[in-house]
Amino acid sequence: MTTHSDHLHGTQPVVDQKLLAAISSQQRPSKPGAMSTSLTFGWRALLKIKHVPEQLFDVTMFPVMFTLMFTFLFGGALAGSPREYVQHLLPGILVLTVTMITMYTGLGINKDIRKGVFDRFRSLPIWRPAVLVGALFGDVLRYTLASLIVIGLGLLLGFRPDGGAVGVIAAVALLLVFAFSLSWIWTALGMIMRTEESLMAVSMMILFPLTFISNVFVDPATMPGWLEAFVNVNPITHLSTASRGLMHGDVDTAQVSWVFIACAIFVAVFGPLTMRLFRKKE
């Protein structure tokens, strides 16, 4: 306790000087850059998986279930045998499974908003979009894991890509770019929807027709004209065709170009929309 004599002899100013010296002995760290901040939030997404490994259920069991189910249900009827059918099916089922799990990006964002975590993030001196971009970076690992599971299972079932390892890697890379771009839609919806249940319902209403009304399972030429017209403009159809071409060594550059155009549209429209919604929540 400081006494009157301490003040008279100048003790208090000495203590204050020592305290200030201790506080200011180091330079203030520089403000983190956009990329480093985004990677930090991406690491946060991975740590959430570490502490709650059940989150990986959708990227492990879901691809296995879909690949086995559709290969053995439709293989004999459509191609004569499951082994023959898997040559056509596997690139498409890879697109379907990864596209379906992109909605979990929005679910994670929605959960953070409801728990108030976003309020804390907005108080930090960081690049604001890093919160969203980092979450998307973290999900890229989930998409990669799902892709590896589908391809590994396909190889066990007899899938033999004529394009070799290079073609398979190129197809997966194209799929990851598409999934990252598509995830911006669910991120925007995650900002709008009040509950995870409502977001899940809306996401499934969009994803089911988008993925199943495509050329993932059958040739669109076998469909009615009005349905074939929708399938031919569906971005999932272009992605599936491009993936098949890359894996089997007969890639159609026009299809790949259409995929990149779709990705650019998704990011150009829903990226700014998501950031606007993010700022409005302040």
Structure tokens at 236: 């999932």
Instruction: Give residue 262's Cα distance to chain centre.
Output: 16
Long-range contacts of 19-23 (CB under 8 A, 24+ apart): none
Token pair for 190: 């995650």
Measure the CA–CA gap between 104 and 200, rounded to whole angstroms. 8
Residues 282 and 279: their CA atoms lie apart, in Å, by 6
Q: What is the pLDDT along the chain (282 residues), one digit of tens a residue?
A: 445 544 444 444 555 666 656 565 556 666 666 777 877 877 887 777 776 666 677 777 888 888 888 888 888 777 778 888 899 889 999 999 899 888 888 888 888 778 777 777 777 777 777 777 888 888 888 888 889 999 999 999 999 999 899 999 999 999 999 999 999 999 899 888 888 889 889 999 999 999 999 999 888 888 888 999 999 999 999 999 999 999 999 888 999 999 999 999 999 999 899 888 887 765
CB 252 within 8 A of CB 163: no
* pTM (predicted TM-score): 0.80
Would you state the structure tokens that stand for residue 13, as one six-digit string?
């100013």
Q: Which two tokens stand for residue 240?
A: 């599936």
Q: Do residues 85 and 79 make contact, with C-beta atoms less than 8 angstroms apart?
A: yes
Domain ranges of the chain: 34-280
* End-to-end CA gap in the chain: 44
CB under 8 Å to 46, separation ≥6 — which residues?
A: 138, 141
The total number of residues written for the chain in this structure = 282
In contact, 147 and 53? CB cutoff 8 Å: no
